[in-house]
Amino acid sequence: MNFDGRVALVTGAAHGIGAATARRLHDDGATVVLADRDADAAGALAGDLGPRARATACDIHDRESVDAAVGTARAAFGRLDLLVTVAGGSIPTPDPEQLTDETWEQLVDLNLTGTMRCVRAALPSLRESPRPAVVMVSSVNGLAAFGDEPYSAAKAGLSVLAKNYAVRYGPDGIRFNVVAPGTVRTRVWDSQDGALERLTPFYPLGRVGEPEDIAAAVAFLASDDAAWITGVTLPVDGGILAGPLRTMFPER
C-alpha cells in the first residue's frame, strides 16, 4: 500500500489493533495522528514513529474532545485523508434480565455513537481530500450471535451506519467500510489465563488473530487498491464465521 502524502487519524491508537494500524499506515507512507485517552502511550508510539506522527488525547465519549483531535490533525499537517475508528470495547455485563439502562447506554456510546462523533468531526476535512476513506473497526459479534448483547448490538450498528454513509457521501468520493475482527491477541486478554488457548480450536486456521492481521485489512480498505469498494463489512476472523462445524466440534 502507498499512502505517501496522506494524513490518517486513528482512534484507539495507543494499544493493540489501533497501535498496529497506526504503525502499518505509517510504514506504508502515511502521516498519522494517534488519538487515544491514554495520551502518554500514544505519545510514546508517536515518538517511536518519528516526525510523520503526532499524538493527541481523545475521548470519543466527548464531542469537544473528538473535534479537538481532528483539529490537531489539521493544525499539524494541514489536511485529513483517512479516518480509522478503532476505539471501543466491552465490559462484563449481566444477563439481559439484569442489564441496566446505564450499562447499555455506556456500551452503545463507546462502540457506535463514538464512531459517529468521529465521522461527524472529520467529514468537512475528508470532503477536501482527493482520496478520502473511512474504516471502522467492528467485531464478528456484530455479525453472529456470540453473546455480549450491548456490545454486539452496537458493533452490528456500525455495518448499517457504514452502508448509509457510503450511499450518502459516495458523491463526495468518501468511502466507508468496516473490518470485523474475530478474537485478537490484545491486552484485554492479559488477565484471563489460558483464554486464548481455549478459543484457538474454534478457529479453522488454528490460531487467534494478531493486531497486525487487522491492520493489514484496514490498510487495504483505506488504500487505492480498494478504490471501488464501499459500504462493505469485511470479516477478518480466521474462518470462525465460515466454520459452524468447527464451532460445534472444536476437537475435530
Q: Where are the alpha helices (DSSP H) in 56-100?
A: 63-77
- C-alpha grid cell, residue 11: 482512534
Selection from 87, 23, 78, 84 nearest residue 53 by Cα: 23
- What SS3 class is residue 7? strand
**Which segments of 184-248 are extended strands (E)?**
233-236
151, 165, 169, 203: which one is catalytic? 151
- Please give the backbone phi and psi of residue 156, each rounded to the nearest 5 degrees, phi first: -60, -35
H or E element, residue 55? strand 53-57
Half-sphere exposure of residue 87: CA atoms within 13 angstroms, side-chain side: 30
- Angstrom distances, CA of residue 108 to CA of 38, 63, 69, 181, 220: 21, 15, 21, 18, 27
- What SS3 class is residue 251? coil
> In the sheet where 53-57 sits, what is the strand order?
53-57, 31-36, 7-11, 82-85, 133-137, 175-181, 233-236
Q: Check if the beta carbon of residue 218 is closer than 8 Å to that of residue 84.
A: yes
203 given a catalytic annotation = no
Active site residues: 151
